[in-house]
Structure 1
Amino acid sequence: MTEPQLTATALNVSADDAAGKPTLVLGPSLGTGAAALWGPIVPYLGDDFRLVAWDLPGHGAGVPSSAEFSMAELASAVVSLVRGLESEGRVDPALPAFYAGVSVGGAAGLQLGLDYPGLFSGLAIICSAAKIGTPEGWTDRAELVAKAGTPTMVAGSAERWFAPGFIEKNPVVTTELLHTLQDADRFSYAHACRALAGFDLRGELGRITDPVLAIAGAHDAVCPPADAEAVAAGVARGRSAVVPSAAHLAPAEDPEATARLLLEFFTGTDGA
Structure 2
Amino acid sequence: MTPELALTRLGGAENGRPLLVVGPSLGTSVAALWDRCARLLADRFDVIGWDLPGHGSSRPAAGPFTVAELADAVRAAAVERAAGRPVAYAGVSLGGAVAFELATRPEPFGLLVAVASAPRIGEPASWHERAALVRRAGTPVMVESSARRWFAPDFTERDPSTAGALLTSLAQADRWSYAWACEALAAFDRSGSDGAGAVPLHVVAGEHDPVVPPAAAERIPATAVRVLPGCGHLPPAEVPDAMAGLLAGLLLTREATP
TM-score, normalised to structure 1, is 0.91
CA separation in 1, counterparts of 2:132 and 2:77? 29
CA separation in 2, counterparts of 1:211 and 1:64? 33
Whether 1:55 and 2:24 are equivalent positions in the alignment is: no
Q: CA deviation at 1:188?
A: 0.1
Q: Where does the alignment leave 5 or more consecutive residues of structure 1 unmatched?
A: none
CA separation in 2, counterparts of 1:63 and 1:226? 36
1:262 paired residue number: 247
Q: CA deviation at 1:207?
A: 5.1
What CA RMSD, in Å, does the superposition of the two structures yield over aligned residues?
Answer: 1.4
1:155 paired residue number: 144
Query: 1:4, 1:77 within 8 Å by CA — same for their partners in 2?
Result: yes
CA separation in 1, counterparts of 2:165 and 2:38? 16
2:19 paired residue number: 23
TM-score, normalised to structure 2, is 0.96
Match of 1:202 among 191, 195, 209: 191
Match of 1:189 among 155, 160, 178: 178
Q: CA deviation at 1:42?
A: 2.3
CA separation in 2, counterparts of 1:92 and 1:192? 27
CA separation in 1, counterparts of 2:8 and 2:50? 6
Q: CA deviation at 1:40?
A: 1.3
CA separation in 1, counterparts of 2:106 and 2:32? 29
CA separation in 1, counterparts of 2:88 and 2:150? 25
CA separation in 2, counterparts of 1:107 and 1:155? 24
SS at structure 1 position matched to 2:217: helix
| Percent identity of paired positions between Structure 1 and Structure 2 | 46
Matched AA of 1:99: Y
Query: 1:128, 1:216 within 8 Å by CA — same for their partners in 2?
Result: yes
Query: 1:121, 1:211 within 8 Å by CA — same for their partners in 2?
Result: yes
1:99 paired residue number: 89
SS at structure 2 position matched to 1:214: strand
Matched AA of 2:25: S
Whether 1:76 and 2:72 are equivalent positions in the alignment is: yes
SS at structure 1 position matched to 2:11: coil
1:154-178 CA-partner distances (Å, limit 9, x unpaired) = 0000001100011001011011100
Query: 2:75, 2:107 within 8 Å by CA — same for their partners in 1?
Result: no
Q: Where does the alignment leave 5 or more consecutive residues of structure 2 unmatched?
A: none
Q: CA deviation at 1:206?
A: 3.6
Matched AA of 1:106: G
Query: 2:90, 2:96 within 8 Å by CA — same for their partners in 1?
Result: yes
CA separation in 1, counterparts of 2:6 and 2:42? 20
Q: CA deviation at 1:241?
A: 0.7
Q: CA deviation at 1:271?
A: 6.5
CA separation in 1, counterparts of 2:224 and 2:196? 16
Paired residues, what number?
A: 257
